[in-house]
Copies of this chain bind each other. A is one copy, B any other.
Amino acid sequence: MVATAGIIIIGDEILSGRTKDSNINWIASQLDGLGVRLKEARIIPDVSDNIIETIQTFSNKYTYVFSCGGIGPTHDDITTECVAKAFNQNLYKNTEAMRRLQLHYEGTNIEFNEARQKMAIVPTNSKLIDNPVSAAPGYRIENLFVFAGVPKIMQGMFNSILNDLTGGKKLKSKTVSSNIGEGLIAKDLEKIENEFSNVKIGSYPYFKPGSFGTSIVLRSEDELSLEKASEAILEIVIKLGGKGKILDGNEIDDRSL
């Protein structure tokens, strides 16, 4: 069975346009590399009912759920109390989290006050997630991983839970870069997709000064089908009077033909 995932971004500052989210794209790329299929991402406000409902919906639907944001020390950080409610758990001050935070603030001129101690409070039946950047841990509860919203901290946390994730077979990908319009090749692409049912094909037009073209991205677990389908598409591009080349998944498409 293929592992699936959902991402929940919690924060008014994203919805007001003040802050540009970069966590979705970063996690999406990581999951793609691990063979976990990201199925959905939602950006929701700092509102309890929304957070609880979204956590429950995602937790039931997907293998893994990742939330980002709302676990800091201030009054608008309400993620942890919502997580506890979503999974019907209590909150408690975790001794190990307290120890890590104490160590972190020791010898600094920052007081480890009540507000900061809030960051050691987690739901019962959760497991701490290391925070290599600023000590205050995230945590895992059932299939939900609760991360901070600051990208660097979130990335550190994600990297420390890699062993908890079991991916499916990794999707391999190839790109046919071409200098023909999307509308010209549309009909033939449909035929190729019908012929290779185990290859997923997406087409992405691009425009740059003086030229345009279409990148056709193929994804499949099966390398042979991927290769055959890519070659079939390249043939079509040439038959249609265009130029094209086949790129491997991680090659950069410089769009030179």
Residues of chain A whose beta carbon lies under 8 Å from any beta carbon of chain B: 12-22, 24-32, 37-46, 50, 72-76, 110-111, 113-116, 118-119, 150, 171, 181-187, 189-190, 193, 200-205, 207, 217, 219
B182 touches A72 (CB 8 A): yes
Q: How many identical chains are in the complex?
A: 2
- Cβ-defined contact, B19 with A74, below 8 A: no
Please pick, from B28, B118, B190, the residue contacting A16 in the complex, using a CB distance under 8 A.
B28
- A226 to chain B: closest CB distance in Å? 15
A119 cross-chain contacts in B, Cβ below 8 A: 183
CA distance A160 to B18 in the complex (A): 23
Residue contact A217 to B74, C-beta cutoff 8 Å: no
Question: A74 contacts B41, CB within 8 Å?
Answer: no
A-B interface, 3 closest residue pairs, ranked by CB to CB distance from nearest: A115-B186, A17-B29, A17-B28
Which residue of B22, B41, B73, B190 contacts A42 across the interface (Cβ within 8 Å)? B41
Residue of B nearest to A188 (CB): B115
**In the complex the two chains form, is A74's CB within 8 Å of B42's CB?**
no
Q: Are A113 and B19 in contact (CB under 8 A)?
A: no
How long is the Cα–Cα vector from A19 to B43 in the complex, in angstroms?
A: 17
Determine if B32 and A189 form an interchain contact, defined as CB atoms under 8 angstroms apart.
no
A-B contact pairs, 23 of them (CB 8 A): A14-B24, A14-B25, A14-B28, A15-B37, A15-B39, A16-B38, A16-B219, A17-B25, A17-B28, A18-B32, A40-B43, A41-B42, A41-B43, A72-B182, A72-B203, A74-B186, A74-B190, A75-B186, A75-B189, A75-B190, A75-B201, A113-B184, A150-B205
Q: Which residue of B lies closest to A20 (CB)?
A: B25
Q: State the Cβ distance, A102 to closest chain B Cβ, in Å.
A: 13
7 further A-B contacts with Cβ under 8 Å, apart from A17-B38, A19-B204, are: A13-B202, A72-B182, A74-B183, A74-B186, A76-B201, A111-B184, A119-B183
Q: Are A44 and B38 in contact (CB under 8 A)?
A: no
Q: Which residues of B contact A45 (CB under 8 A)?
A: 39-40
